[in-house]
Structure 1
Amino acid sequence: MSVMEGAIIYSNLLVLLSIGLTMTYITTAVPNFAQGSFAVFGSYVALTLFRLYGIHPYASIPITFVAGGLLGLVIYIGVLKPLIRRGAEVVILMIATLAVDLILLGVIGAYSDYLGVITKKSAKKFIFTPYDFSIGSMSGIFFVSIAVIALILFGLYLLLFKTKFGVAMRASMENPSLAEIMGVNVETTRLTSWILSAALASLAGALLPFRQEIVPMTGGIIIVSIFASSIVGGLGSIFGALIGGYVVGMSESFVTFELSKVFGTGVLVYSRVVSLIVLIIMLILAPKGIMSIKWRRLKWLRSFLS
């Protein structure tokens, strides 16, 4: 797998994860620390279907998507909704998502032991690369990830811009109080955003093992890149999450690759440092993300300096 190919695959998956994180932040103002564990949940759903029923991970994508949506439904109704009704502040809701993340980590860890016992194959650490196909010199996950991201973006476009519910959802994202006065059911949009967020994360998790090894702790590792992508693009913009995902994904892949030439492959372990550096630079230059930059002003400044 070439560096460019791997970078595009990773960026596609990061976009799915960051869009989900941004959606829940816009609707509930909660930075979801469990987003990474939602992805690992999807990875283990795909592994279970493959090991127990022989369903190839690619064929399990629709099931994984639905399973992730159900997880988001349970988390919102069981944890966040009661807290929001009681008037919990954002900090409390954020801590609640952190608690959910830790609970999911424990549940996934215990389940991996159970799955390993009943299948007699280790589930603590796994990868799907041996089960991938190839077209010429390109891996199957390259084409599948592109197809998935294209379908998801098209689906979100239709939902948000071509349906009445989408219009209501965008209205509640931009101004919840005003939307509620206008008769929009804000509670429904919040619930939908959490369902879609978890579904997208779970979908990304089903594909992630085709690129890297998965362990129960993977969610805690990739959450850094997910937050960096959302913040770099602009936490208040779904389109910003799309841009941020590619900026962070490409930066991580290419910078760590070049550094590995100098310092050896051991530097790849610290790829998330690149995400944090990109994040810090963006916070200094544009605290509200790429989508907040006034590009016309920059063009004027460039022409002035020249």
Structure 2
Amino acid sequence: MGVVEGAIIYANLLVLLAIGLTLTYITTAVPNFAQGSFAIFGSYIALTLLRLSGIHPYTALPIAFILGGMLGLATYILVLRPLIKKDSTIVTLMIATLAWDLILLGIIGAYSEFLGKITRKAGVKFIFTYLDYEIAGISAIFLVSTVVIAVTLAGLFLLLYKTKFGIALRASMENPSLAEIMGVNVEYTRMFSWFLSGALAAMAGCLLPFKQEIVPATGALIIVSIFAASIVGGLSSIYGALLGGYIIGLSESLITYELSVVLGTGVLVYSKVVSLVILIITLLVAPRGIVGINWKKVMKWLSSTRS
């Protein structure tokens, strides 16, 4: 797998995770620290189906989508909704997602040990690269991840702009109080956004082992990149998640690789530093993310400096 190809694959998966994080933030204003564990939940769904039923991870994508969606929905109904009804602060809700993330980490860790015992194969640490194959000289994971992204974006566009529910969903995102007055069931839109967030994360997690080795704590590592992608693009915009996902995904992979050529492979361990540096620079220059920049003013300023 070439360096650029691997970078695009990683960026594709990061976009899925960032879109999910952004959806839940827009509808409930909660930064979901469990998004990384949602992805690893999907990874272990794929591993379980492979070990117990011989189902290839690519074939397992629809199952991961449904089960991941159920996890996202359960997170909202069991953890967040009771707190929202009590008028809990955003900080309290954020801490609740962090606590939920730690609970999921414990559950996934225990399950990985159990799966390893009943299958007599490694469950705590695994990778799917040996299952991949090529189509016309291109790795299947590159094609599959790209198709998944294309289908997801097309589906979101049709949902948000071509259906009545999508209009209601956008209304509840922009102004929940006004949408409720207009008859929109804001609760349903929140439940749907959490379902979709979990579903997209689980699909990304299903494909992630083709890119890197997975352990139960991998979610705690990738959450850095997920937040960086969402914030750099613009945490309140789905388009921002798309843009930020590719910026962070490609930068993290390609810059780290170039640094490893000069400084040695030990640099690869610190790939998340690239994401954090880009995040800090973005917050200093454009606190609302790239989509929040007034590009007309920027262009006028550039024109004035040239003249």
- State the TM bucket, normalised to the shorter chain: over 0.9
Query: Matches of 1:4 and 1:305 in 2, distance apart?
Result: 36
Aligned to 1:238: 238
**Structure 1 length-normalised TM:** 0.99
Partner of 1:30: 30
The yes-or-no answer on 1:193 pairing with 2:206 is: no
Say yes or no: does 1:175 pair with 2:143: no
What aligned pairs does 1:1-306 form with structure 2 within 5 A after superposition?
1-306=1-306
Q: Cα RMSD between the aligned structures?
A: 0.7
Amino acid at match of 2:269: V
Shift of 1:138: 2.4
Instruction: Measure, in 1, the Cα distance between the counterparts of 2:75 and 2:295.
Output: 39
Q: Secondary structure at 2:11's aligned position in 1? A: helix
Q: 1:298, 1:113 → 2: CA distance?
A: 54
Query: Could you state the TM-score of these two structures normalised by the residue count of structure 2?
Result: 0.98
Distance 2:44 2:140 in 1: 20
Q: Post-superposition shift, 1:262?
A: 1.2
SS in 1 for 2:271: helix
Other structure's SS at 1:95 match: helix
Runs of at least 4 residues off by over 2 Å: 135-138
Amino acid at match of 2:44: Y
Amino acid corresponding to residue 218 of structure 2 in structure 1: T
Q: Cα distance, 1:300 vs. partner?
A: 1.7
SS at match of 1:232: helix
1:192-236 Cα offsets, whole Å, 9 max, x none, are 000000000000000000000000000000000000000001111
- CA deviation profile, 1:254-276 (whole Å, cap 9, x unmatched): 11011001111111110000000
1:171-208 deviation line (CA, Å, top 9, x unaligned): 00001111111111111111100000000000000000
Inter-partner Cα distance in structure 1 for 2:10 and 2:230: 15
Q: Deviations over 1:266-293 (max 9, x none)?
A: 1111000000000001001100000011
Q: What is the CA–CA distance in structure 1 between the aligned matches of 2:81 and 2:305, rounded to whole Å?
A: 52
* Distance of 2:175 and 2:140 partners within structure 1: 42
Q: Distance in 2 between matches of 1:282 and 1:79?
A: 32
Whole-angstrom distance in 2 between the partners of 1:250 and 1:68: 26
Give, in whole Å, the separation in 1 of the partners of 2:249 and 2:8. Answer: 8
Cα deviation for residue 136 of structure 1 reads: 4.2
CA separation in 2, counterparts of 1:299 and 1:137? 42
Distance 2:183 2:136 in 1: 54
Q: CA deviation at 1:135?
A: 2.4
Structure 1 residues not aligned, in runs of 5+: none
Distance 2:136 2:190 in 1: 44
Q: 1:137 to 1:266 in 2, by over 3 A?
A: farther
Code of the residue aligned with 1:192 in structure 2: it is F
Q: 2:87 is aligned with what amino acid?
A: G
- Paired residues in the alignment total 306
State the 1:48 CA deviation.
Answer: 0.2
> Deviations along 1:3-32, whole A, 9 cap, x unmatched?
110110000000000000000000000000
Amino acid of the residue matched to residue 152 of structure 2? Answer: I
